[in-house]
Structure 1
């Protein structure tokens, strides 16, 4: 997998086969992973859960519209959908219903091979965390589905009452919980919002370039 390492204001290409050596040579002692699109492939499952919740209120979400917004948090997606398509949408109900449906469907979520390999390589030597715009119960269900939950010291999420990415709050809190200096902590992310959040938090970040 291709990726870009954002380091101290610079950028350079890095192949996934070199991630582990970059982490060791860079002196990183802790790694914060995004969840959806980084650790797990869950976009279609999220789309189905959103659509099921919206259909219960008489609405339909276009797949392309959703896929253009996968880096956003649930309330941001539903608010945008309501503003553009469904002014009378009960957003709180749609959020609850979509979370419930996602958890019910989560067994079909699959791991992303290159980051799974990296977690396996780091789990005994580094402190690992998840920092996600998803709710904690959604992230937990995804990680359980791919048998990776046990490798992460903590999950920091929108459920903690923190501002969603691209605000830096989730990554700042994850860094605090892991207990290492910013210079010793690396973020692995796929979305532009997540990369912006990591940089705003003063952290180096590997940005996945997914096909």
Structure 2
């Protein structure tokens, strides 16, 4: 069964923003006299906007409604992106390279506002057949919803699609949806062993994400 399409994650694959997200959200929480719980950062990786803002409000204890938490944090993230878009080396080339041979999609936990801004700034918006935020499906990663919807929009079954992911929850999401999983582990936030075990291919950097490597997954 050959691979017919590729679905990219955004944060940690195209842009290196996990540290930015952590810095912005930790700072926001601290301004309200609260601290991350021991597992807050790990849990939020892959959560949708509604899920992580609810976590910060209801569990971490930020004294604001989740909707306000989300608006505040997203505004700060957008400001950071406007000042300096932290593209991962080789990411734009990898997207362009695969888009020349496969239909490609994007399945991200970022808000629609940030997805659109990143792709426009990077000059790759038109390369994607469809882009999805977990805001637009019932459940965020590690649930399979966003990948199932992305492949549906591509008109393909998950089994003939490959996903490019970095985080534990992203790998679990793509694996649960039935895609072939390509892992690009993040150096600062490496995926858990059980999540990495779901990958059909593990690469060290995006220069290794070639058309030939993807075709071999089939």
Shorter-chain TM band: 0.7 to 0.9
Structure 2 match to 1:95 = 70
What CA deviation, in whole Å up to 9, does each residue of 1:112-144 have, x standing for no partner? Answer: 224433212112221111001121111112222
Structure 2 match to 1:202 = 178
For residues 131 and 112 of structure 1, what CA distance do their matches in structure 2 show? 17
Check whether the contact 2:167–2:186 (CA below 8 A) recurs between aligned residues: no
For residues 33 and 53 of structure 2, what CA distance do their matches in structure 1 show? 12
The structure carrying a bigger strand percent of its residues is 1
State the 1:70 CA deviation. Answer: 2.6
State the 1:169 CA deviation. Answer: 1.0
State the 1:27 CA deviation. Answer: 2.6
Give the unaligned 5+ runs of structure 1: 1-25
1:149 pairs with one of 125, 134, 137: 125
Q: Which gives a bigger RCO, structure 1 or 2 (Cα 8 Å, sep 6+)?
A: 1
State the 1:150 CA deviation. Answer: 2.3
For residues 131 and 25 of structure 2, what CA distance do their matches in structure 1 show? 23
For residues 189 and 172 of structure 1, what CA distance do their matches in structure 2 show? 15
For residues 163 and 101 of structure 2, what CA distance do their matches in structure 1 show? 16
Which shifted more, 133-142 or 81-90?
81-90
Which shifted more, 35-44 or 109-118?
109-118
3-state SS in 1 of match to 2:12: coil
2:160 pairs with one of 184, 196, 202: 184
For residues 61 and 147 of structure 1, what CA distance do their matches in structure 2 show? 37
**1:1-211 maps to which residues of 2 (within 5 A)?**
27-51=2-26, 53-54=28-29, 58-59=32-33, 61=35, 67-68=41-42, 69-86=44-61, 88-107=63-82, 108-211=84-187
For residues 15 and 37 of structure 2, what CA distance do their matches in structure 1 show? 19
Q: Scaled by the length of structure 1, what TM-score is found?
A: 0.75
Q: Scaled by the length of structure 2, what TM-score is found?
A: 0.73
Give the unaligned 5+ runs of structure 2: 188-218
State the 1:34 CA deviation. Answer: 0.6
Check whether the contact 2:137–2:146 (CA below 8 A) recurs between aligned residues: no
How many equivalent residue pairs?
185
